[in-house]
Structure formats: C-alpha cells, structure tokens
Amino acid sequence: MTIRLYDTNARQVRDFIPLVPGCVSIYLCGATVQAAPHIGHVRSNLNFDIMRRWFAYRGYDVTFIRNVTDIDDKIIAKSAEQGRPWWSIGYENERAFNSGYDALGCLPPSYEPRATGHIPEMIEMMRELIARGHAYAADGNVYFDVRSYDDYLSLSNQELDNLLQPSGEGETGKRDPRDFAMWKSAKPGEPSWETPWGRGRPGWHLECSAMAHKYLGSAFDIHGGGIDLIFPHHENEIAQAKAFGDDFAAYWVHNAWVTMSGEKMSKSLGNSVLVSEMTKRWRPIVLRYYLGTPHYRSMIEYSEDSLREAESAFARIEGFIQRVQEKAGKAVEPAAEVPPAFAEAMDDDLSVPQALAIVHTAVRQGNSALSADDKETAVARLSEVRAMLGVLGLDPLDERWSSEDGDRSADLHGVVDSLVRLVLEQRQAARARKDFATADAIRDQLQQSGLEITDTPNGARWSLGSR
C-alpha cells in the first residue's frame, strides 16, 4: 500500500514517504477572516479533510494544522470601512468559517493557531534571518532579500528577472522592488506590536512560516492550500523558512478553485455564494458531495444545475441505503475495509471521482440484488457502501448526518411519510379499479412536489427526488 500525491514542487505524482513512519503532519493555509466564507473557501478545507480521513483510514496518526490569518491589509481596510475594531471583524468571520466547516462535516484541526497569537515567534524568525543576511530593516519595515536565497521561485517556476512582486502601501526602503515585506511599519490608527525595529504588524507570508515551525517543527510532510497561493504566499513561505534553516514541507499539494463563468469565485468579483446561505437552500451533506467528489485538482464550475445533479446522484445512494436497511430489518454496519478498487483509486492522488464510481457500482449491484430478493448480497453491498462513504465523510447513517436538524427533522419526516402514504393508498385504490388516469395523475403531482415514487412488489415507495 502506497499513497501517491501530486507534488506541485516536483510537478509530478510522487509516492508518499512520511518523515516519521506511521505519522503524517499537514499544514493547511486557512481562512483570512475579513468576510464570511463562500463555497470556494470551504472547498480547500473539505479537500484536505478527505485527505486527512484517508490517511487515518490507512492507519496513519495525523496532525492537522489549519491557521487563521486574523490580521492583514484586507481586515484593516474592512475595519476602516465599517468603523469596527479589526479584532471584532476577524472573530466574527472566524466563527462563520468554523460554522461552515462544521456544517459540511469537516473534522476539527489538531490545532488552529491565530496569526496574532504568534508575534514572538515571528520576531525571532526575523531576527535570525537578519543575522544570516537574508533580511534587512528599513523605515520600520523588515524585508526579505530574495536574491539571497538561490532557490527562490522554484515552486512557481518563474524567472526572477521577470518577477512582479505584489507590494502594499507604505513599503518604503526596499533595496530591490522584488523583495517582500515580512513586517510592516505602524501607520496611524492601525494595530501594531513592538519589535526591535519599531512598532508594526506582520506580513502575511511570515505568519505561516512562523506558525508551521512552532507546531510542526523544522520539517513536516505536507503543506496545502489553493492554487492561487502558490505565488506569492507559498513561494515566500519557503524562502523564509529555508533561509531560517528549516527543511519545511516535503510535499506541496494544491487544490483548484470553484469558478463562476470561468472566473475564480471571490468577494471582489461579486460572484461569491456564501456558505451560510447555501446551507439554507441545500442540505449540507449534498453540498459536501458536490464540493468534495470532483478531483481536488479539477476546477468546479458552479451552477444550480450541477448542484441539482449532485443532489439527484446522492439521493439515489440514500434511497438504496434506506431500502436495504428496511429489508434487513436492522442497522447494517459499515464493512471493516473498503473494496480494493476504491482503495486503489484513493491511493492514486486521492482520485475521488474514480472511488465514487465504485460506490455507484456497488449501489447498482445492491439494487439488482434487491430486485432479485437477494437480501444477503444487498446487505453486503450496503456494508461496503457505508465503509466507502464513511471515508469520504458522506455516510448519511453516520451520527454526524443522521442527527442533522435534530428531532424536528425526524418529526417532520414522520408527518410527511404519513401524508404521502395516505395519497399512495388512494393511488393504489385507483389502480385496483383500473382508473389508471387518476393513478398516474397522483404520481405526477407527487413528483412535481419533489418526491420520487417507485413501484415495488411490496407496494409503492417514496423518496426525495432532485429539485
């Protein structure tokens, strides 16, 4: 058994060899909390949640760090715009992100450090980089000298001569315009902390280098994030950490975007779809299916139609699970192991689409067994399906999802079930007297209401259909 991952730095799929046998250390760039999350934000965490679950299934002890950037230019701009303290905006949106992660069934991180809680570590890193000749102070700022680090831009594969380094307001005193800020001098009315070089605040890149070092040490296995972070953020993280003396990340794994009309989903483009609103319109488990089942390196072009397709596909899985559970007359537990073909797909760079195809094949086989009244085979397929869905965080019988919406949801389902069964009895009576026009009209009305009606030897059954 060997898990293989696409390493952005190597530009190829590599066998995963942990630094410590049996253990996996992962650092994921988390939220910048200037605003509430849209589904593009949570996709990254969801993809790495699936990675984490697969490593755990394969027997690894996983340490998963997801940071919070609670101070940066965008948060300060929002503070000025809204007339609110920067920390109030950050904390409110941090809670919104965590609510979104939780709604979509993401496991909590091992640790979730905030940038502002690690200023001493950042100061120590800058002090060492200056001593080693990789950084310098100017006008209260501290800059990293990119020419001092020979492997700079190896991750993004750019040429230094052609580099355009993003710069913020007030970044004066640079020796080279390509140098980047690790620390920014204080401006009137902005938050600041005392350092040997004057009061100021951290640069975005320094935060992650310092926090990764604190929680995972000088070397760790996997650094993750969205493809938009490759440059400048991850490139600058590498330069700081390695110039400091760390080996840093052995593998770099990046997920693709959620797009709308071909553009990255972002607040600045005005095309974001907030998680808090989406979970009011769609079941969270359906959103997880929609965002988590494409390959993590594939773009997702958002549309209502594609979400409906995902809802319909997941409804077929749920319908199968419900029918077998009722046929078995008891709870069917997940299998101890997933099928070999599923494991092979997941080992191959987390190929969730191929793994999901194994799930749907098992569902079709199980449905055929039900039609043939082969209870034993149907139960066996359900046991496999539950094991596979569990790895993906999508088992609807898991306590996480079965308790979704609490008792109110269960009570409502019971009321609907009673009403639908009453209507189905009327339909059956119409069929018994050969009034097929009325029977068909009843079925059509139920389907228009969003219900799927399936005729079986044991009578008609209903389930939620696609919208």
| Tokens representing residue 440 in the block | 């068909």
Task: Using only the alpha carbons of the chain, give its radius of gyration.
Answer: 26
Q: Give the tokens for residue 144.
A: 């990293």
Asked if 92 and 380 count as a contact pair (C-beta separation under 8 A), the reply is: no
* CB-CB contact of 44 with 226 (8 Å): yes
Q: What is the pLDDT of residue 463?
A: 72
Q: For residue 385, what are the CA distances in angstroms to 42, 300, 332, 378, 390?
A: 25, 25, 10, 10, 8
User: How far does the chain reach from its first CA to its final CA, in angstroms?
Assistant: 41
Give the integer Cα–Cα distance in Å for 153 and 175. Answer: 19
Burial of 29 (0-12, 13-18, 19+ CB in 10 A): buried
Among residues 218, 205, 224, the alpha carbon closest in space to that of 247 is found at 218
Q: How confident is the model at residue 271 (pLDDT cuts 50, 70, 90)?
A: low
Give 131-185 pLDDT, tens digit per residue.
999 999 999 999 999 999 999 999 999 999 999 888 887 899 999 999 999 999 9
CA–CA gap between residue 251 and residue 271 (Å, rounded): 32
Q: How far apart are CA 148 and CA 239, in angstroms?
A: 9
Task: Quick: pLDDT tens for 390-434.
Answer: 999 999 999 999 766 544 444 455 556 667 777 888 888 888 898
Write out the two tokens for 368. Answer: 């055929």
**What would the mean pLDDT of 218-226 be, rounded to a whole number?**
98
Would the pLDDT of 206 be above 70? yes
Residue with more model confidence, 450 or 164? 164
Report how far Cα 176 is from the mean position of its chain's Cα atoms: 37
Q: Is the pLDDT of residue 465 over 90?
A: no
| Nearest alpha carbon to residue 68 among 104, 99, 111 | 111
pTM: predicted TM-score of the whole model, two decimal places:
0.87
3-state secondary structure of 22: coil
Q: What is the DSSP letter of 393?
A: T
- Which pLDDT value is given to residue 268? 67
The residue to which tokens 């389930």 are assigned: 463
Indicate whether 125 pLDDT > 90.
Answer: yes
In this predicted structure, the answer to whether residue 467 has a pLDDT above a threshold of 90 is no
Name the strands in the sheet holding 180-185, side by side, starting at the edge strand that comes first in the sequence: 135-138, 141-144, 180-185, 200-202
Q: Does residue 282 surpass a pLDDT of 60?
A: yes
Q: How many of the other CB atoms lie within 10 Å of CB of 281?
A: 12
Q: What is the pLDDT of residue 150?
A: 96
Q: What percent of the chain has pLDDT over 90?
A: 79
Got the DSSP string for 315-375? HHHHHHHHHHHHHHTSPPPPPSS--HHHHHHHHBT--HHHHHHHHHHHHHHHHHHHHTT-H
